[in-house]
Every structure is written in structure tokens, then in C-alpha cells.
């Protein structure tokens, strides 16, 4: 990896994180490999080149998989609480390096410094969760229908877990997967987003330093880098029983089909088209706070970002006025300046998609309440800064039906009861996050009932964006159906086995079958 200077002294940050290896992008732990092909990482903050990371070759990928499969044999037999101790120490290293890693996340991805630090905190939190979980990988006991028999089920390590992550959460989502996978006795091969590869290098260095202290084998944590071609090496590899992929619905469908062809498992976290329902009984101040942060946080580049605001006609104008007032106060600029609310989009391709969406909503009959637009000049040299926009639209518009990874909020009006609003919310292909703003208990309970939200996440009086690690994270429909992080999401990283023990001197058969010899 080659490095350059930039506006936040990124070299100092990389040195703090131990990222000093030149031209490397593939790792089995402490061992690194490089090729003559590179990914260039440019910061959307100022357009500066941060560094170049070597693309993983098929030959180096083979070395990675040899190391991973070999390490699994040793790691899987280590008692889970001992694996938990390793993860605990990894979490401690993250605590020590939270500030520089958070800065790297902010600078390479473009999210605010607070969000960058918050993302590292999510990594720390999931490590804490995983440590406790290491003593709770429990199965169930069942009563056998046969005399003198005992039945139970248990969970065993699955093997090599492949992780393909997206640019918008360049470190946290990897850690959601890998902390649980390590606890479960699995080893991990990670392909970070090609738009934020240096974050992957930094995390690999931190993990490798912890494993090295305990003389653990190469291959427990592996890193590969590149575009979809490197991802294809993972999705087609029979040695990877589970591929966890985060990204667009289009990408997820390709991953799902490829992995299914070899009867592997896929854990998919894909697109969202998240809505907040605002009923006549809503607290308007809370609504505005939740909607604005949900729509503009991370410059609208969260899978849980608020895309649609479904407002009852009786309070539509009041909410609209409050929103436009709030948007007029937003400060857009360098995300490392904590006075700013909104940073840049990830790259100029994202800016083009943002502009295209604004043109489409007008062409389909909508109107721009807060028109948006691009920013240029001093402080905006990267060409990735845009103004958050609000459009009045209809739910059936084609552009509203699809996710645009940008700070565009669509205002939709509903009449009648909350059932009509729920139908609008559910009337899209995606099913990740949802929320209702109401002080009416009946409306809240209906929203959470079988007849309510069809999303994997449903909130009352908080927004769609953000999630605690204690709950399972994921969505339905074209969001992919995967679950990561808390609750019992750990089970996806393990294989389930039913055991029956006969402690008598006879062999009775199930269902009363007779087979006498």
C-alpha cells in the first residue's frame, strides 16, 4: 500500500493503526501478499489519494483458503470461552485505537467523525456481546418417545465464513459477522468494499496483533481485496459454507443464486426503502428529529436511511413546514469538522445517481420542496458534496419504489386510518426498517402486529436509522432475509445437530416399529 499526505495527516493515523505495509492487500494474519494490480482509495472528503491496495490474485486467494481451512481445524476445538477471551482482547485493542480508526473511517468513507467513532463503538459493543455469548452457545433437550433414551440438539462450528461488506459501514458490519463467527469456532475471509479498502487493512492489522500474542495460527482472520471478481472466488468456493454479503439487492441476487447452486448458505443484508409513518397523534418535534437524521445522516448512505415520510393529510402542511425549516439549518462540509451535519457522498458516481433521481421524481409528476443540488468551490473540491433534498411524490412513482443511496426524502400523504399508511409503507419491494410516530397505543400496536409493518425492523417513536447490537439486524423481501448482530443471530454461523443416546441394553425403534432378528 502506497501512501500520500492529506488534510488530516492521514499518515499519522495509519501509523497509529500499524498500517505500514507497502503494496499489500491480501493477508492470512501476519503474512501479507501483493500483486502488481491496485485499488486506489481516494477520500470523498477532499479527493486526495489516501493509498493504493494490492488486488488479490487467484494464487494468493488459494494461499488464503489453505491457511483458513487449516486454522479452522485448530480453532474449532478450542473451548468457546477461550475463544471469547481472544475476542475480548480484540475489543480492548479497538478501545485503545478507537480514535484513529474512527478518523480513518470518517476520512475514507466520508461520514461524520461522530459517526466514524460510533461505528468503531459498534465493533466494541459486538465484541462485548460475543464474549458473553461464548458461554451460552446452547441447544435444547427433548423427551424421547423411547424408554431409556435421551435426546438433545447442539451447535457446531460451520467452517470458513466469507464476508463481503459495503462501503457505508466499512468496519462495523464486518465485526458484526466476524466477532460472532470467531466465538462460534469459525474462521473468516473478508473482502472489504473496494471503495474503503484501507479500513480493512487497519482491522486486519489489529486482529492479527491479538492472535500473534497467543501464537494462534495464520488463517483465523483473512483479508482479500478487489472488485466483484474477487467476490466471485468466494461465492463459488465449496470450502466456504456461508457467505455473508452486504450491498445492493442486485448484488445480493447474484450472490444468492451462485451460493445456492453449490447448496451453500448465504446471509444477505441488502437494500432498504424505509418509511416513517406520521399520524395525527405524533409528536412533531420528535418526528422532525428522527426524520432529518434518518434522511441526511451518513449523507443518506445507510441501508436504514429514511427514504419516505408518510404523513396524515391533517398534519401534512405542519410537518412539511417544520422539515423545511430544519433543512435550512443543515451545515454541509468536511465530516471531520463536528460543526457540520452532512458530509459527502462516496464518489461522483453516487452524485450522478442523486441527480438522476431528482430529475426522475419531477418527470414522474413530483415536485421539489427542498431542491437539493451539488456543491463546488472551496471545501468541496472532491465533487462529492450535495445538498439534502425533499420531494413531494406518490408511492407508486418508479423512482420512489427504488432505493437511491443519497439524501433524498420523499413526502407522501395519506388519508383515513393508519391501515392506509401501513399499506403504503409495505407497498415497496424492500423490507428492512420502518417506524411510526404516534402517541396512540392502538396505532402503535397495530403497526407492530401481524397486520402491520412487513419489515425486519419496526420502531415506535424513533426513526428508521440506527440499531443496537443486542437485537438481530436485517430485513425481509428484497432486503434478503438475513439477520446479523444480536439476539440468536449466532445460529447462522453454526451447523445444527440432533443427538440421541440409548443408555439401555435394548434397541427399540422409533414409532413403535418392530424389526426382530
| Residues labelled catalytic | 269, 303
In angstroms, rounded to a whole number, what is the distance separating the alpha carbons of residues 23 and 86?
29
471 touches 481 (CB < 8 A): no
357 touches 391 (CB < 8 A): no
Count CA within 13 A, CB hemisphere, residue 425: 32
484: helix, coil or strand? strand
The residues, ordered by sequence, that sit 6+ positions from 10 with a Cβ below 8 Å of its Cβ are 3, 43, 50, 104, 107
User: Which H or E element spans position 253?
Assistant: helix 249-261
Written as nine digits, the cell of 88 is 475480548
Sheet of 26-27: strand order equals 32-33, 26-27, 221-223, 187-191, 160-164, 242-246, 265-269
Angle at 312 between CA 310 and CA 316, to 5 degrees: 90
**124 burial type by CB count under 10 A (0-12 exposed, 13-18 middle, 19+ buried):** buried
420 touches 414 (CB < 8 A): yes
Residue 430 pairs in a beta bridge with 477
User: Which residue bears the cell 489516501?
Assistant: 50
Identify the sign of the CA torsion 71, 73, 74, 76: positive
What CA–CA distances, in Å, run from 71 to 29, 181, 424? Answer: 11, 14, 50
DSSP 35: -
In angstroms, rounded to a whole number, what is the distance separating the alpha carbons of residues 501 and 388?
63
160 touches 187 (CB < 8 A): yes
Q: What is the chain's percent helix, strand, coil content, to nearest 5? A: 40, 20, 40
Three-state secondary structure string covering 416-478: CCHHHHHHHHHCCCEECEEEEECCCHHHHHHHHCCCCCCCCEEEECCCCCCCCCCCEECCEEC
Residue 157 pairs in a beta bridge with 494
Choose among 476, 396, 393: nearest CA to 433. 476
Amino acid at each position: 500500500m502506497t501512501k500520500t499526505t492529506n488534510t488530516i495527516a492521514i499518515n499519522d493515523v495509519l501509523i497509529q493503526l500499524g498500517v505500514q505495509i507497502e503494496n499489500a492487500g491480501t493477508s492470512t494474519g501476519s503474512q501479507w501478499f501483493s500483486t502488481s494490480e491496485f485499488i486506489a482509495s481516494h477520500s470523498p472528503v477532499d479527493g486526495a489519494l489516501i493509498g493504493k491496495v494490492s488486488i488479490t490474485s487467484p494464487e494468493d486467494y488459494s494461499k488464503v483458503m489453505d491457511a483458513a481451512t487449516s486454522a479452522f481445524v485448530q480453532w474449532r476445538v478450542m473451548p468457546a470461552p477461550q475463544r471469547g477471551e481472544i475476542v475480548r482482547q480484540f475489543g480492548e485493542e479497538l478501545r485503545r485505537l478507537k480514535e484513529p480508526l474512527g478518523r480513518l473511517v470518517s476520512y475514507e468513507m466520508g461520514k461524520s467523525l461522530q459517526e466514524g467513532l460510533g461505528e468503531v463503538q459498534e465493533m466494541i459493543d459486538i465484541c462485548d456481546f460475543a464474549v458473553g455469548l461464548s458461554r451460552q452457545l446452547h441447544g435444547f433437550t427433548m423427551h424421547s418417545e423411547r424408554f431409556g433414551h435421551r435426546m438433545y440438539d447442539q451447535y457446531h462450528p460451520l467452517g470458513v465464513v466469507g464476508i463481503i461488506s459495503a462501503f457505508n459501514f466499512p468496519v462495523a458490519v464486518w465485526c458484526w459477522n466476524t466477532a460472532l463467527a470467531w466465538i462460534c469456532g469459525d474462521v473468516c475471509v473478508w473482502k472489504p468494499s473496494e471503495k474503503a479498502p484501507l479500513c480493512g487493512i487497519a482491522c486486519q492489522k489489529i486482529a492479527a496483533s491479538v492472535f500473534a500474542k497467543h501464537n494462534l495460527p495464520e488463517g483465523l482472520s483473512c483479508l482479500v481485496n478487489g472488485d466483484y471478481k474477487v467476490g466471485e472466488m468466494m461465492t463459488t468456493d465449496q470450502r466456504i459454507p456461508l457467505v455473508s454479503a452486504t450491498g445492493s439487492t442486485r448484488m445480493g441476487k447474484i450472490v444468492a443464486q451462485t451460493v445456492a447452486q453449490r447448496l451453500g448458505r448465504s446471509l444477505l443484508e441488502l437494500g432498504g426503502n424505509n418509511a416513517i409513518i406520521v399520524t395525527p397523534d405524533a409528536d412533531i418535534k420528535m418526528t422532525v428529529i428522527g426524520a432529518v437524521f434518518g434522511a441526511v445522516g451518513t449523507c443518506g448512505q445507510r441501508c436504514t436511511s429514511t427514504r419516505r415520510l408518510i404523513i396524515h393529510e391533517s398534519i401534512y402542511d405542519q410537518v412539511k413546514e417544520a422539515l423545511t425549516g430544519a433543512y435550512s439549518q443543515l451545515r454541509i462540509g468536511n465530516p471531520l469538522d463536528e460543526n457540520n451535519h452532512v458530509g459527502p457522498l462516496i464518489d461522483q458516481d453516487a452524485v450522478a445517481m442523486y441527480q438522476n433521481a431528482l430529475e426522475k421524481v419531477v418527470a414522474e409528476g413530483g415536485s421539489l420542496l427542498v431542491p437539493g443540488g451539488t456543491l463546488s468551490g472551496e471545501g468541496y473540491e472532491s465533487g462529492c458534496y450535495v445538498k439534502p433534498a425533499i420531494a413531494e411524490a406518490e408511492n407508486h412513482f418508479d423512482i420512489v419504489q427504488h432505493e437511491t443511496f443519497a439524501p433524498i426524502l420523499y413526502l407522501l400523504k395519506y388519508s383515513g386510518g393508519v391501515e392506509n399508511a401501513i399499506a403504503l409503507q409495505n407497498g415497496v419491494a424492500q423490507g428492512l426498517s420502518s417506524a411510526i410516530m404516534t402517541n396512540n397505543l392502538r396505532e402503535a400496536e397495530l403497526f407492530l402486529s401481524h397486520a402491520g409493518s412487513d419489515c425486519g425492523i419496526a420502531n415506535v417513536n424513533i426513526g428508521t436509522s440506527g440499531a443496537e447490537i443486542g437485537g438481530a439486524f436485517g430485513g425481509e423481501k428484497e432486503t434478503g432475509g438475513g439477520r446479523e448482530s444480536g439476539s440468536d443471530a449466532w445460529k447462522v454461523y453454526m451447523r445444527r445437530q440432533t443427538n440421541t443416546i440409548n443408555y439401555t441394553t435394548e434397541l427399540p425403534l422409533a414409532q413403535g416399529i418392530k424389526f426382530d432378528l
